Amino acid sequence: MKRVLLFLGTNLAIIVVASITLNLLGVGSFLDESGTNLNIQSLLIFCFIFGMAGSVISLLLSKKIAKWSMKVEIIDKPRNSSEEWLFRTIERQSKEAGIGMPEIGIFEAQQANAFATGSNRNKALVAVSSGMMQRFDKGEIEAVLGHEVGHVANGDMITLALIQGVVNTFVMFLARVIGFVVDRVILKNEQGLGIGYFITTIAAEIVLAILASTIVFWFSRRREFVADRDGARLGSRLGMINALQRLKAESQVPNQLPESMRAFGITGGKRSGFKALFMTHPPLEDRIAALQNMSD
């Protein structure tokens, strides 16, 4: 779950900071030669360039931020039989999935969780919590690792970045159109761009970015079902089902991962109603049912 929230948080911060900086520097007025109307074509090109840039930067930073925020201990050389098994399992799964060997790490958390991230499918990071290593059996851990390797092999983070880049483009574009309308129609500013434009643009950008993130969350939920099938294939279907059932049994325990990292985890908690639109993962019950109904 943490993969998406961390990516979104970084992306939003980059876009907001960039917008404020550009506005302060007077870049991005996008008025036509008369100074009274927006140049829609120039505005759209500008928003596309900066929207995609924010997404790409978030993607490139994803692995470093994950390591830092989760205090991941990278395993370069296994120090015991447990780490040796973990190393060999991911090595085998990576070969089967057709990707390069990812970095392997363990992070301290009693909650059972795991995540994968990175901008390059051949140089990714797969990390598992100490709590999962202690309480889950090898069949369950193997399936969870296969789930995470599946995310990497499917290029989910790269696809997510492309979707987010398009979302950023339209968020920045619509925010500036709204700012222009407020400045002209409500505040009656007839020449140039007034302070109302800049304030409204920044506020609209934040609100629209949060609402538009539901598109990214929807994509994330759909990809979880695919990654579960990969976990069943690279591990075992029984192991994946048992892992999800165990996670469901432990769901009453508070999520120990930081809010900014919850899109990276194997499970994302439970929400209902409008809040369900902001879930990065489908309900565990639905994921278990999908695996049970999966054809061999």
Token pair belonging to 278: 């902001």
Tokens of 180: 């222009």
Calculate the alpha carbon distances from 208 to 119, 261, 280 in Å.
26, 22, 18
How many CA atoms lie less than 13 Å away from 192 in the CB half-sphere? 4
- Active-site residue, selected from the candidate residues 142, 148, 205, 224: 148
Residues whose CB is less than 8 angstroms from the CB of residue 81 and which lie 6 or more positions away in sequence, other chains included: none
Asked if 131 and 111 count as a contact pair (C-beta separation under 8 A), the reply is: yes
Distance CA 18, CA 80 (A): 47
Secondary structure (3-state) at 122: coil
Which DSSP string corresponds to 270-286? Answer: ---GGGGGG-SS--HHH
Asked if 148 is an active-site residue, the reply is yes
Write the DSSP symbol of residue 36: S
Q: Specify the long-range contacts of residues 45-49, CB closer than 8 Å, at least 24 apart.
A: 46/172, 47/168, 47/169, 47/170, 47/172, 47/173, 47/176, 48/169
CB-count exposure of residue 244 (10 Å: 0-12, 13-18, 19+): buried
Dihedral (CA of 237, 288, 286, 216) sign = negative
* CA separation for the pair 228, 143 (Å, rounded): 8
Q: How far is CA 147 from CA 198, 233, 251, in A?
A: 44, 9, 19
User: What amino acid positions are annotated as catalytic residues?
Assistant: 148
